[in-house]
Amino acid sequence: MTPRDHISVAAPATVANLTVGFDCLGLALERPLERLDLKRTDTPGVTISAILGHDGLPMDPARNVSGKAAQSVLQTLGVSWGVALTIHKAVLPGSGIGSSAASAASAAFGVAALAGAELKPHELLPLALDGEQIASGARHADNVAPALFGGLCLCTPDGRIDHLPAPDWHLTVVHPQTVIKTAQARAVLPYHVPMKDALHQMAQLGHFVHCCHTGDAMEAAFALQDVLAEPHRIPLQPHFNEVQAAAMNAGARAGGISGSGPSSYWISFDNDTAKAIGQAISTVFLQEGMDHHVHVGKIAAQGARIIEA
């Protein structure tokens, strides 16, 4: 790539866990996208010029997800110049659709693109995880990997990212405007699980991966069952039982909690049904007086990318 003085990039929101793959599965969404504007500066290091779309995020680069990821890339490249960031938050923190991952991925990709460096996504991944760790306290790649790579990713315990053939799904993602902290959602999980539950989950995950490779989108959806994490997290989710009933009655074939919530995702096989699912869930939240956002689309093949300013 050619070095630039300024650039605009975007990275997609993501759905992690996908019910069946706790801490190991993630996919990129067509929308929403996290946008980041980067400008080369003569002063070394990272400065944050503005954060638009959300109040309360730290302006200190060392404490900011985008700032930290950008610092890591600059240090890796060993350049003498710096970068100023303007962060446009479309993926809100605590949403369950990879806000910090999209920020980290866009920053890591953006600094490399600004420098004209030919860093591959797998080389950018640990640098983006430096940013993700600021927000979550952990280096789980199930959101960051699809935000960087796009598509459907299986993250193995040894840090490898395997790309799975993405099922031909239409996704309805609904984000109620409330926050569930990842630490809170992890605190409700048991430390020990029965052997039969572990075996069930292992078999379902294996079946899901098989269905992806055989192109059976319907069976891949039916494989999305979780007995380990999601049952313990449902009580934290706003009106989840009503949302689930509305989604299934409107034509969803499967779905569940996105990440640690409060967003949920629902799978169908055509755009009209996906929209109907969104409308049905909206009715639930409107009746409860809860503001929310609905995103309808497919699995995004592309992760972080350059966009026009």
The answer to whether residue 185 scores a pLDDT higher than 90 is no
The mean pLDDT of 77-104, rounded to a whole number, is: 93
The mean pLDDT of 260-279, rounded to a whole number, is: 97
The answer to whether residue 183 scores a pLDDT higher than 60 is yes
pLDDT at position 159 is: 86
The mean pLDDT of 234-242, rounded to a whole number, is: 96
Q: 170-298 belongs to which CATH class?
A: alpha beta
The mean pLDDT of 52-72, rounded to a whole number, is: 94
Q: Which of 40, 26, 92, 25 is CA-nearest to residue 65?
A: 92
Q: Select 6-164+301-307's CATH number: 1.10.3720.10, 3.20.20.150, 1.10.287.470, 3.30.230.10.
A: 3.30.230.10
- 183 compared with 229, residue with greater pLDDT: 229
Q: Which of 90-104, 162-176, 200-214 has the lowest mean pLDDT?
A: 90-104
The answer to whether residue 74 scores a pLDDT higher than 70 is yes
pLDDT above 90: percentage of residues in the chain: 87
The answer to whether residue 156 scores a pLDDT higher than 80 is yes
3-state secondary structure string across 205-264: HHHHHHHHHHCCHHHHHHCCCCCCCHHHHHHHCCCHHHHHHHHHHCCCCEEEECCCCCCE
pLDDT at position 63 is: 95
3-state secondary structure string across the chain: CCCCCEEEEEEEEEEECCCCCCCCEEEEEEEEEEEEEEEEECCCEEEEEEEECCCCCCCCHHHCHHHHHHHHHHHHHCCCCEEEEEEECCCCCCCCCCHHHHHHHHHHHHHHHHHCCCCCHHHHHHHHHHHHHHHHCCCCCCCHHHHHHCCEEEECCCCCEEEECCCCCEEEEEEECCCCCHHHHHHCCCCCCCHHHHHHHHHHHHHHHHHHHHCCHHHHHHCCCCCCCHHHHHHHCCCHHHHHHHHHHCCCCEEEECCCCCCEEEEECCHHHHHHHHHHHHHHHHHCCCCEEEEEEEECCCCCEEECC
What does the domain layout of the chain look like in residue ranges? 6-164+301-307, 170-298
The answer to whether residue 136 scores a pLDDT higher than 80 is no
Q: Which of 20-24, 45-49, 150-154, 180-184 has the lowest mean pLDDT?
A: 180-184
pLDDT above 70: percentage of residues in the chain: 100
The answer to whether residue 309 scores a pLDDT higher than 80 is no
The answer to whether residue 184 scores a pLDDT higher than 90 is no
State the number of CA atoms in the 13 A half-sphere of 18 facing the CB.
31
